[in-house]
Amino acid sequence: MSDTEEEKPNPDQTKSLRNCKSITVAFKLNGKNYPLWSRLMKVKIGGRGAYSYIRNEPPEAVSKGFDEWEENDLVVFSWIVDNIENEIVADFAHHLTSKALWDSLAVTFENKADRYLIYDLEEKAINIKQGDLDLETYYRRIHGLWINIDRCQKQPINCCDKGIDQFRTHSNSKRLIKFLTGLNQEYDSIRRDILKRRPSPIS
């Protein structure tokens, strides 16, 4: 079998998932949060030893143990649909297997979700201010937004290591300025000291 060929599960080696508890992630799929939602679902499904049901093609219906595999697949299917908002779940519940459902969600929402999610994250990162937050909490929140932005968008430069490093330095420099501009007035002297440093603290 080639490296790119989908491996089919062996129904004789499946374990029953019927007694497993239902899966719940932090939020339901609404069409705009697919990247993080799918990651959380993969972690949950994989943690139950059931990742093959969304990754591999189903076994032949005439193969031994297929009925047991199908019952497990229905359990995984229910885990997925239970974590989709009611407004959109009807558009996907007709699929026959967990993999077919999972693939359909990816085709429908992956690229669209990236644009919506990145826009939302960038807007929050631009507008966040320290306000009543302590310095550590302010940094943790803005840094978390940047991590999610980087996770959801493709690397815009792939020509060479030097080009990538230059882009990262430029991006980090802009983010440092954004962090400093969001600080309260009491940190003005520290802000000025950091901006005067050569080289920059993030270089």
Contact 1, 82 (CB under 8 A): no
Domain edge (last residue) among 76, 109, 142: 109
pLDDT in tens, 20-58: 888 999 999 998 888 889 999 999 999 999 999 999 999
* Same domain, residue pair 86 and 40: yes
Q: Measure the CA–CA gap between 17 and 41, rounded to whole angstroms.
A: 16
**Which of 95, 98, 92, 109 is closest to 38 using CA atoms?**
109
Structural element, H or E, at residue 143: helix 135-152
Asked if the structure places residue 6 within a domain, the reply is no
- Assess whether the previous peptide bond of 199 is cis (omega < 30° from 0): yes
Is the dihedral angle over the CA atoms 77, 78, 80, 84 positive or is it negative? positive
pLDDT in tens, 133-182: 898 999 999 988 888 787 776 665 556 666 667 777 878 888 888 899 99
pLDDT of residue 175: 87
What mean pLDDT comes out for the span 108-132? 81
* Same domain, residue pair 103 and 184: no
Asked if the structure places residue 36 within a domain, the reply is yes
Asked if the structure places residue 145 within a domain, the reply is yes
Asked if the structure places residue 179 within a domain, the reply is yes
pLDDT of residue 100: 94
Which pLDDT band holds residue 7 (cuts at 50, 70, 90)?
low
pLDDT of residue 158: 58
- The residue segments making up the domain with residue 146 are 112-196
